Amino acid sequence: MSMTEELLNSYLEDTCDAESTLLKRVNRETYLRETMPHMLSGHYQGRVLAMLSKLVAPQRILEIGTFTGYATLCLAEGLTGDGELHTIDINEEQQERVQGYFDASEFQQQIQYHIGDAAEVIPTIPGIFDLVFIDADKKRNLYYYELLLERVRPGGLLLIDNVLWKGKVLQDNPDNQTKQVLALNETLAQDSRVEKLMLPIRDGLFVLRKK
């Protein structure tokens, strides 16, 4: 991140709502304990996710890729009183700590934390979703999208993270991973089933509204 980007990020964080005490804890402990802490959504993107969730007021949320639970807690802020959030991650080594964060939150009874391969777990969770956040294995993003689009209500949102891929989508000779991201972006841009908008937040967030 350049000096200008750092200054801009600090300004954006200074002008949005502050992190809760719990989110600050998750942020701090992620950077202390994880080898790839940059995977955390972070303060500003977290506020974006919370705002989008609050605008939708979802009764049911599905998140693919929990990591340390920061985005999960932000998305949960928009849940209706009787709402539920299902979050899936394959890394069971983090399970105890992340569950501890959820248990310490006001959404303890609303968050259902699943450990396993998302492709296998998703079919076990019945029902329609109001909001879906995909932030996991980039190779399967299009698979998750196609699998879940029919399970999102009309007017519901699908959010896909890392669609700018550290700016590599603009390179002349993209590597294989970047080609996969480019293929996803092109497919989504042409999909008439959704309204779409890419936000240049951190590593890029695709916001798709089902028609």
Q: What is the pLDDT of residue 168?
A: 86
Question: Regarding the domain with residue range 49-210, which homologous superfamily does it belong to in the CATH classification?
Answer: Vaccinia Virus protein VP39 (3.40.50.150)
With 0-12 / 13-18 / 19 or more C-beta atoms within 10 angstroms meaning exposed / middle / buried, residue 76 is buried
Name which of 41, 115, 30 is nearest 71 in CA terms. 41
* Strand bridging mode 152-161 / 129-134: parallel
Strands (E), 67-174: 84-89, 111-115, 129-134, 152-161
Confidence (pLDDT) at 137: 85
The pLDDT value given to residue 1: 61
pLDDT at res. 4: 83
Phi, psi of 163 (to 5 degrees): -85, -5
Strand order in the sheet with 129-134: 111-115, 84-89, 60-64, 129-134, 152-161, 205-210, 194-199
Residue 167 pLDDT = 83
The whole-number pLDDT of residue 85 equals 98
Say how many Å lie between the first and final Cα of the chain, rounded: 36
pLDDT in tens, the chain (211 residues): 677 888 998 999 999 999 999 999 999 999 999 999 989 999 999 999 999 999 999 999 999 999 999 999 999 999 999 999 999 999 999 999 999 999 999 999 999 999 999 999 999 999 999 999 999 988 899 999 999 999 999 999 999 999 999 888 888 889 888 899 999 999 999 999 999 999 999 899 999 999 9
Domain boundaries along the sequence of the chain: 49-210
